């Protein structure tokens, strides 16, 4: 079986552990820049996904945004989703997360979690994922069994699915109404997709969620009009926003 491109050895330079520190740092930066280029190459697919999600969320007032992933991808999804509540005032009951290994896996690695298809089926049923939901699945390899299983089941019940893979041949893409390929290729440390694959995923999710919230009316004149002021800084920001809204 051929290794996914995200797992293959980086051969464009000497191995990172053989380079002087400054050269290694510059190599990592050069590769991180490529992450943003990989997102730019998918702007048309992202545009379609954003418009589709907006229509879906407007049509189904009980619909949820559900992020699905394992390891780094799962944590990036959680980070993106959880910020929608304080930033835009998105209702907490309209967002959910499906993380391989559960809450425990957010802070540490859980053995065999990403391979647990039985648990994937159980979580899918428990979370009552249905046709009203928007399900965003992220997998660097595109082949993570847990994530692919959740996405496959979501697709079958006609949920609006967005499949995000850093591997153009990722199986997860089969279960996407919208398919986004962030082709970041090899990492400077083979298989360490917390590097540019993760960066590309974060950029991609930033764009999708920001534009969805904007088109739903939570942004006016470039300001987050529904932010939840949970500290003094945000209370001052809320006051400034209210003074400047037309």
Q: What does the alpha-carbon distance between residue 38 and residue 174 come to, in Å, rounded to a whole number?
A: 20
Closest by CA to 186, choosing from 5, 55, 56, is 5
Which domains are assigned to the chain?
A: 5-244 (3.40.50.10490)
The predicted structure's pLDDT at residue 69? 96
The predicted structure's pLDDT at residue 246? 62
The predicted structure's pLDDT at residue 244? 77
74 with 68: CB under 8 angstroms? yes
Interior angle at CA 86, CA 81 and CA 88, nearest 5: 80
Q: What does the alpha-carbon distance between residue 83 and residue 57 come to, in Å, rounded to a whole number?
A: 18
Of the candidates 31, 41, 104, 114, the residue annotated as catalytic is: 114
The predicted structure's pLDDT at residue 239? 83
Closest by CA to 4, choosing from 197, 147, 162, 195, is 197
Each of the 246 residues of the chain gets a pLDDT tens digit; together they read: 678 899 999 999 999 999 999 999 999 999 999 999 999 999 999 999 999 999 999 998 889 999 999 999 999 999 999 999 999 999 999 999 999 988 888 888 887 888 889 999 999 999 999 999 999 999 999 999 999 999 999 999 999 999 999 999 999 999 999 999 999 999 999 999 999 999 999 999 999 999 999 999 999 999 888 888 888 888 888 888 887 776
The predicted structure's pLDDT at residue 136? 98
242 labelled catalytic: no
Q: What does the alpha-carbon distance between residue 173 and residue 181 come to, in Å, rounded to a whole number?
A: 8
The predicted structure's pLDDT at residue 235? 84
The predicted structure's pLDDT at residue 161? 98
Of the candidates 31, 41, 83, 104, the residue annotated as catalytic is: 83
The sign of the CA dihedral 99, 73, 154, 212 is: positive
- Per the structure block, which two tokens stand in for 87? 């930033």
Closest by CA to 80, choosing from 204, 225, 206, is 206
- Burial class of 29 by CB neighbour count within 10 A (0 to 12, 13 to 18, 19+): exposed
Q: What does the alpha-carbon distance between residue 176 and residue 172 come to, in Å, rounded to a whole number?
A: 7
The predicted structure's pLDDT at residue 1? 62
33 labelled catalytic: no
Instruction: State the pTM of this model.
Output: 0.93
Pairing relationship of beta strands 95-99 and 223-224 according to DSSP bridges:
unpaired
């Amino acid at each position: 079986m051929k290794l996914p491109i995200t797992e293959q050895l980086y051969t464009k330079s000497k191995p990172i552990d053989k380079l002087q520190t400054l050269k290694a740092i510059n190599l990592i930066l050069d590769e991180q820049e490529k992450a943003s280029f990989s997102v730019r190459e998918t702007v048309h697919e992202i545009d379609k996904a954003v418009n589709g999600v907006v229509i879906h969320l407007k049509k189904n007032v009980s619909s949820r945004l559900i992020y699905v992933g394992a390891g780094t991808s799962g944590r990036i999804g959680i980070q993106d989703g959880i910020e929608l509540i304080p930033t835009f005032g998105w209702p907490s009951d309209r967002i959910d997360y499906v993380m391989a290994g559960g809450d425990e896996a957010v802070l540490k690695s859980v053995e065999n979690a990403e391979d647990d298809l039985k648990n994937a089926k159980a979580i899918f049923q428990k979370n009552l994922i249905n046709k009203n939901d928007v399900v965003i699945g992220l997998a660097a390899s595109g082949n993570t069994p847990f994530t692919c299983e959740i996405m496959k089941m979501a697709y079958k019940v006609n949920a609006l699915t967005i499949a995000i893979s850093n591997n153009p041949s990722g199986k997860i893409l089969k279960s996407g109404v919208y398919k986004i390929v962030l082709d970041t290729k090899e990492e400077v440390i083979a298989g360490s997709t917390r590097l540019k694959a993760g960066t590309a995923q974060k950029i991609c999710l930033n764009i999708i969620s920001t534009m969805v919230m904007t088109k739903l009316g939570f942004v006016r004149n470039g300001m987050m009009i529904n932010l939840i002021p949970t500290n003094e800084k945000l209370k001052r920001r809320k006051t400034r926003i209210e003074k400047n809204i037309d």
